Each structure stands twice: as C-alpha cells, then as structure tokens.
C-alpha cells in the first residue's frame, strides 16, 4: 500500500482514460454551441450561504455533503456541490441580465459532495451544467431533454429513458403539502429515521426515499400531478407533448421530486434503461421559477439540468462502446544516429504543425524497438531518419501495413504523406 492515497471517493483520471474525457467534453461543447449556450466558468469555491439559500438549508447537500472551510480572513467558503446557484450568482453579479433573454449558460467542471461510497458515486465528480434563464415556455424544458439525447447519440449511448414529473409551484404545492401531512400523520412511526426528520422539514422527499418500508407506504400517497393548478397542469402537458413530438422516451414517475429545494413544475432525470443501471441517474434537472428572485434578482423563470460525466463514461465503458478519437498517431518518427536525432526535433515540429498526428520516442532505442512502438501505437507510417538520410537531406517512408519503404526528399515528406492519405 503506498504511503499516500487520493482522498476517499476521489480518484486520478489516468492518461489511458483521457480519450473518453476528451471525447465527452468535445461533444458537450459542440452541442452546447449548436443549442446557443455561452460557456461560463465560475470559481470552484463559493460562499457557503449561496448554497444554504439556493440549494436549500434542509437538503442532503447542505446538511451533510458540503466541503466547507474558513479562510484566514474569516470568510466561510465551500467547494461547489453543484453549479446552479453559482451560475445564477454569476448571472446577477456580472449584469448578464442586460443580454437578450433567455440567457443560456453552460459550464463544465468538478463538483464536491461528501457522499457515502457507492457505485458511480464520487466525492469529486464532474458535471456538464446547462441553465436557461428568463423564459417560461415549456418548449425549453423539452429542448433541454432533447439536448441530452443529442449528446448521448453522439457518444453512441442508446437505451436511455427520461423519468419525468411535475412538482407544482408556490400556488398549488402548499395544498398538496397539506394532503401529504394528513396522509403521513398516522404512518410517521413506520418511516425510516431519515424520513421521520424529513416529515418535519422536507416533506416532498418522503416520496423518493429508497428504504423499502418507506417505498411501501409511498405507494398509496396522493399523486401531485392530480393536484396541480391550471398553469402547472398545462405547462406539464405541453412538455410531454413536445417530448412525444420528438419521440423522446420517457415515463411518468410520480415519486420523482429531486433533492434540491429550488425546483418548481417540471423535474426530470435520465437513466440507463436496463437492469444494472437502475441505481444510477446520468443527468437530472428541472425548472426553478423562484430561484433567481431568491438570490436577489428579478422574479423570472429558469430551467436547467446537469449531466454526470463520470457516470456517462462508466456506462460507455461498461457497454464497450468504441469512442471515435483521432488520438492515434498517423506517423511515428524514428531517428537513428546523432545527426538523425538532431534533425528529427525540427521535423517533429513541422509534422505536428502540418496537422498530421505524430509521435516519437526520441530515445536511444534500436530501429526494431522504435518500429515495435510505432506498431503498438497503430501508426500508419513510420518515418526513418538515419545518419545517411540526414546527410542526404532525405527520409524513408515506411508503410506500417505493407512494410514497403520509399526514400523521399526531406522537404517533400509532408506533401507525400498527405497524398498517400488521400488515396
Ligand atoms: P443533481 O441531480 O444533483 O442535479 O446532479 C446531476 C447529475 O450529476 C446526476 O444525475 C449525476 O449523474 C451527477 N452526480 C451528482 N452527484 C454525483 C456524485 N456524487 N457522483 C457522481 N455523479 C454525480 C444538480 O446538480 C442540479 N444542479 C442540476 C440542475 C441544473 N438543475 C437545474 N439546473
């Protein structure tokens, strides 16, 4: 056992896994741009109060999961446990409200939650987060779900399903809450200890408890979609119609409430549609029509979601999906002798600049060892620059498939390779 290890629930992302991370970030960035999102980076540390107010004082995140610290100057900061309140803070602080609305912002980076260890659950994980600020229209709720499915498609991920629900608004929810209070009144003592606490402060969360005895009780609970106000009802109906229109797979889950306090109306999660994926949501989000005002802005709507990148990559690997990357070098540059070695540094840079993928070991290895390495890396061509070639200003192009070799002038090598690639 090494003397030092990464903190519990946190891990190194090794070079061999970077192809997945590069690919997913590239796909997310391309699609975010296509859907009109501007890229926003926020600090990893924020004021603790931002999440107490934004995420909610009695949520698991705030009660149990934040990594908080006090600076030498006495500020109370925390490693961001999610993006949403931070994005709204940045929107308000930087006067982004002067932009035409809706303002669409997208962020990418780590979040930190002190969670219990479980498959697919990390204390440092990575999210791609999307927020649309200042638009009530239900088409945006549906478009965000469509964006998720476009991203998954580009990654080769199929068999995913949206779970969706509406949890009402400040007009209809109090009434539903009262119904829950009376439903649970006689059943309180049969709930798990967490739910007994939730019954005081975070009633909706009783619906999605994972304890068997609480699931059993919740089976008969009145469903919120039967008690929505007209506005929430028609909003939800429209979202579902848009999803039908786009043929996006979804199921209604009346017990989906989400663990964050700011949601109103639509809430959704996206899950793998297979047995092994049951416990692992790949993405989650919803509408938050009161949050902007709560954090000091105007009374305006918002809707957003975040994708768990670690979980997406785990699923890609579990399902053995081939990731199409261009990281394989097209060329492996082999150099032999002092003069060959000297010239190879400049040539390496020229090849790299020409846009051809190039690799080299730049070491004192023998020709055989370097060829073996080129083969292992899957290079199409090896370029061999020995003492003789360096003196003659030539180079050998070796086709790694056929092993045929051709000597060409050094000044023409890039053009020659490009011509061969075109064939
Ligand atoms: P969330 O459901 O807490 O929502 O997180 C979104 C996704 O991030 C989850 O579905 C999961 O894939 C991933 N995730 C969260 N925690 C972990 C963890 N400990 N380990 C691995 N993956 C994790 C939010 O964070 C909201 N801010 C989303 C949102 C944006 N709602 C509106 N706008």
Question: Do 239 and 379 share a domain, yes or no?
Answer: no
Q: Distance from the CA of 350 to the center of ligand 1, in angstroms? A: 44
Ligand 1 atom with minimal separation from the 285 CA: 31
Question: Do 133 and 241 share a domain, yes or no?
Answer: yes
Tell me how crowded residue 240 is: count the other CB atoms within 10 A of its CB.
18
What confidence score (pLDDT) does residue 278 get?
61
Please give the tally of structural domains in the chain: 2
Question: Do 98 and 31 share a domain, yes or no?
Answer: yes
d(CA 196, CA 184): 10
Q: Which residue has a Cα nearest atom 33 of ligand 1?
A: 304
d(CA 218, CA 209): 9
Assess if residue 234 is contained within a domain: yes
Assess if residue 10 is contained within a domain: no
Question: Do 297 and 335 share a domain, yes or no?
Answer: no
Element (H, E) at 149: helix 138-154
What confidence score (pLDDT) does residue 329 get?
79
d(CA 410, CA 336): 15
Q: Distance from the CA of 394 to the center of ligand 1, in angstroms? A: 56
Of 256, 286, 318, which residue constitutes the final position of a domain? 318
What confidence score (pLDDT) does residue 208 get?
87
Q: What does each C-alpha distance from 175 to 10, 172, 224, 362 come to in angstroms?
A: 42, 6, 10, 72
CATH code assigned at 354: 3.40.50.800
Q: Is 344 in contact with 317 (CB distance < 8 Å)?
A: no
d(CA 379, CA 192): 59
Q: Distance from the CA of 267 to the center of ligand 1, in angstroms? A: 13
303, two tokens: 């809707």
Determine the 3-state secondary structure of 221 from DSSP. coil
CATH code assigned at 149: 3.30.930.10
- What's the pTM? 0.88
Q: 205-214 pLDDT, tens per residue?
A: 899 888 899 9
239, two tokens: 């979202």
Q: Which residue has a Cα nearest atom 29 of ligand 1?
A: 305
What confidence score (pLDDT) does residue 92 get?
98
Element (H, E) at 419: helix 413-422
Q: 75-125 pLDDT, tens per residue?
A: 999 999 999 999 999 999 999 999 999 999 999 999 999 999 888 999 999
What confidence score (pLDDT) does residue 325 get?
62
What confidence score (pLDDT) does residue 277 get?
54
Q: Which residue has a Cα nearest atom 9 of ligand 1?
A: 283
Please calculate the CA angle 100-81-208 and round it to the nearest 5 degrees: 100
What confidence score (pLDDT) does residue 20 get?
95
Tally of CA atoms within 13 A in the half-sphere of 322 that contains its CB: 3
Residues lining ligand 1, judged by CB closer than 6 Å?
Answer: 82-84, 113, 115, 120-122, 125, 127, 129, 131, 281-286, 304-306, 308, 310-311
Assess if residue 246 is contained within a domain: yes
Q: What does each C-alpha distance from 154 to 27, 147, 321, 323 come to in angstroms?
A: 7, 11, 11, 10
d(CA 129, CA 53): 19
Question: Do 90 and 156 share a domain, yes or no?
Answer: yes
| pLDDT beneath 70, residues of the chain | 276-278, 325-328, 364
Assess if residue 92 is contained within a domain: yes
Assess if residue 28 is contained within a domain: yes
Determine the 3-state secondary structure of 279 from DSSP. coil
d(CA 143, CA 371): 50
Question: Do 245 and 394 share a domain, yes or no?
Answer: no
Question: Do 363 and 289 share a domain, yes or no?
Answer: no
Assess if residue 203 is contained within a domain: no
Q: Which residue has a Cα nearest atom 2 of ligand 1?
A: 284
What confidence score (pLDDT) does residue 423 get?
79
168, two tokens: 């009402």
Ligand 1 atom with minimal separation from the 312 CA: 12
d(CA 191, CA 199): 9
What confidence score (pLDDT) does residue 233 get?
97
What confidence score (pLDDT) does residue 366 get?
87
Assess if residue 309 is contained within a domain: yes
Q: Give me the residue label for tokens 């479980």.
A: 118
Q: Which domain holds residue 122?
A: 15-172+228-318
Assess if residue 217 is contained within a domain: no
């Amino acid at each position: 056992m090494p003397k030092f290890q990464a903190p519990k629930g946190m891990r190194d992302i090794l070079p061999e896994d970077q192809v997945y991370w590069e690919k997913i970030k590239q796909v997310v960035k391309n699609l975010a741009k296509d859907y009109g999102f501007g890229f926003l980076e926020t600090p990893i540390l924020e004021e603790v109060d931002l999440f107490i107010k934004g995420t909610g004082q009695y949520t698991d995140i705030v009660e149990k999961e934040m990594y908080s610290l006090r600076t030498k100057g006495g500020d109370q900061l925390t490693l961001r446990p999610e993006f949403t309140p931070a994005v709204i803070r940045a929107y308000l602080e930087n006067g982004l409200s002067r932009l035409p609305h809706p303002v669409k912002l997208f962020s990418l980076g780590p979040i930190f939650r002190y969670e219990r260890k479980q498959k697919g659950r990390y204390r440092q994980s990575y999210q791609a987060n999307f927020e649309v600020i200042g638009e009530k229209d239900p088409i945006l709720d549906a478009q965000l779900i469509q964006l998720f499915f476009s991203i998954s498609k580009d990654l080769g991920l199929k068999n995913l399903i949206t779970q969706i629900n509406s949890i009402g608004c400040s007009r209809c929810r109090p009434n539903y809450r009262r119904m829950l209070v009376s439903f649970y009144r006689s059943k309180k003592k049969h709930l798990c200890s967490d739910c007994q606490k939730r019954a005081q402060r975070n009633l909706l969360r009783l619906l999605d408890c994972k304890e068997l005895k609480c699931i059993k009780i919740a089976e008969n609970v009145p469903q919120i979609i039967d008690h929505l106000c007209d506005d929430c009802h028609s909003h939800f109906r429209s979202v579902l119609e848009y999803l039908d229109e786009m043929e996006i797979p979804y199921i209604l889950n009346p017990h989906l409430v989400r663990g964050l306090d700011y949601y109103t109306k639509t809430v959704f999660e996206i899950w793998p549609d297979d047995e092994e994926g049951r416990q692992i949501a790949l993405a989650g989000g919803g509408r938050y029509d009161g949050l902007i005002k709560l954090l000091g802005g105007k009374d305006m709507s918002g809707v957003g979601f975040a994708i768990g990148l670690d979980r997406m990559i785990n699923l890609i690997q579990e399902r053995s999906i081939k990731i199409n990357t261009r990281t394989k070098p097209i060329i492996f540059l082999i150099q032999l002798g002092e003069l060959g070695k000297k010239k190879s540094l400049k040539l390496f840079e020229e090849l790299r600049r020409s846009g051809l993928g190039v690799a080299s070991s730049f070491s004192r290895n023998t020709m055989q060892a370097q060829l073996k390495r080129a083969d292992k890396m899957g290079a199409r061509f090896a370029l061999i620059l020995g003492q003789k070639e360096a003196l003659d200003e030539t180079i050998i192009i070796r086709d790694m498939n056929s092993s045929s070799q051709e000597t060409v002038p050094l000044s023409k090598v890039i053009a020659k390779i490009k011509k061969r690639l075109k064939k």
